[in-house]
Structure 1
Amino acid sequence: MASTLPEPVARLVAAANSGDSQGFLDTFAPEGTVDDRGRVFSGREEIQEWSDAEFIGMHVTLDVTAEITTGEYTTFTATVGGEGFTGESHFSFTVEDDLVQQMTITA
């Protein structure tokens, strides 16, 4: 499937798939947030702590299987691999000024 993800989201997926923690963090706005099934992590320091424990640190891989973008909102479904949670998840993003403002993960 050819990706039409906005550049910041495409960079985030590429960074996750290559285990690039700094590249992953650099996709977020300084005040960005991650909402992982209701647990919210705000700012790059909290996002890094979460990622080190549950995302990049668990060698996550994201195989995007469906995507839609409307304005600054992007949603995709991905098959998640790695050493932590595996299976299908839904990811939603708000992008502004070429940076991810919010990433929300739901089952």
Structure 2
Amino acid sequence: MTSELPAAVQQLIAATNSGDVEGFLGSFSDDGVVDDWGREFRGREAIREWSDREYIGKQITLDLTSSAVAGDSATVTTIVGGNGYNGPSTFIFDVSGARVSRMTIRE
């Protein structure tokens, strides 16, 4: 994992790859948002429900191919694996303090 990524992003990616839903949810601020191709899930309960259906529940893995950090934003290019979508994807993480405030998923 790239050491320049904010700790909250590193934690979120590690939790994703290990299937740790509590660690994944703990990476987000209380009012965090997942934007999955324009569909927004706000707050930990909504994120958990989305994750159970489409993310951790699908045993998603993220194999990082590149990353860039600019201010409080990190962009990570990955190859997604698991039992759902498989292929390249870009994740944009907005970080506020020690937590991810927004995770945006794009192609």
Shared fold per TM-score greater than 0.5: yes
Report deviation, 1:97: 1.0
- AA at the equivalent of 2:79: T
- 1:86 Cα offset (Å): 0.5
Where does residue 58 of structure 1 map in the other structure?
58
Match of 1:12 in 2: 12
Question: How far, CA to CA, are the matches of 1:88 and 1:97 in structure 2?
Answer: 28
Closer, same or farther in 2 for the Cα pair 1:10/1:83, shift >3 Å? Answer: same
**What corresponds to 2:80 in structure 1?**
80
Say whether 1:95 aligns with 2:82: no
SS of residue paired to 2:14: helix
Q: CA RMSD in A?
A: 1.0
Count of matched residue pairs: 107
1:98 & 1:72 partners in 2: Cα distance?
Answer: 11
Give the TM-score normalised by the residue count of structure 1: 0.97
Q: CA deviation at 1:4?
A: 2.1
1:36-68 C-alpha deviation (Å, 9 max, x unpaired): 000000000000000000000000000010000
Which ranges in structure 2 are unaligned for 5 or more consecutive residues?
A: none
- How big is the shift at 1:2? 4.3
Structure 2: distance between partners of 1:26 and 1:104: 17
Contact kept in structure 1, 2:52 and 2:58, CA below 8 Å: yes
Give distance in 2, aligned partners of 1:2 and 1:30: 26
